[in-house]
Amino acid sequence: MNIAIIIHSKTGHTLQVGEALRSRLETSGHTVHLEQIRAANESEVKPEAIAMTNFPKTTGFDLLVFGAPVHGGRLSAVMQAYLQQLPSLEGRVMAGFVTEFFPSAGMGGNQAIANMEDLLRAKGGELRSSGVVHWMFRGKREKLISETIEKITALA
């Protein structure tokens, strides 16, 4: 499969998970393109005010994976802005994950995945797999990273 991993990462955690996923998928023989969404105003909280400087393309891939951090109990504004601006995603196979600091999905992880699902549904698509990684405790983090990676790899 030709797979795109599209990441927004402010401090590097989400990128680290994306890179581990890329290695896993490449080991299974897939071609993986990992690209970061970039914005000139990363700290902006209103998605409509985000000024994109790198907008990864979604066409030509068999599987799309989106990864982003939780900011203020929601999906990062940069990822929200990116998903809002995508063309139709009808019929696309997609997965998504988020990283958050606190060790409870109630601290924003579930909400962020729900935000991602709503934005993808608005484009005619849906997530086939999703994961929330809590960063605070190393043991739990590594378990959640590994579970998220295996769930997404099962789609490929």
Q: Which residues bind ligand FMN (CB under 6 A)?
A: 9-15, 69-73, 99-102, 107-108, 135
Nearer to ligand FMN, 109 or 125 (CB): 109
- Cβ 68 to ligand FMN shortest distance, Å: 7
Nearer to ligand FMN, 42 or 62 (CB): 42
- Cβ 14 to ligand FMN shortest distance, Å: 3
- Cβ 90 to ligand FMN shortest distance, Å: 29
Q: What are phi and psi of 133, to 5 degrees?
A: -110, 120
- Cβ 91 to ligand FMN shortest distance, Å: 29
Nearer to ligand FMN, 79 or 127 (CB): 79
Nearer to ligand FMN, 55 or 101 (CB): 101
Q: Are 109 and 143 in contact (CB under 8 A)?
A: no
Residue spans of beta strands (DSSP E) within the chain: 2-7, 31-36, 38-39, 52-54, 63-71, 74-75, 94-100, 127-134
15 alpha-carbon distance from chain centroid: 9
DSSP 90: T
Q: How far apart are CA 135 and CA 61, in angstroms?
A: 29
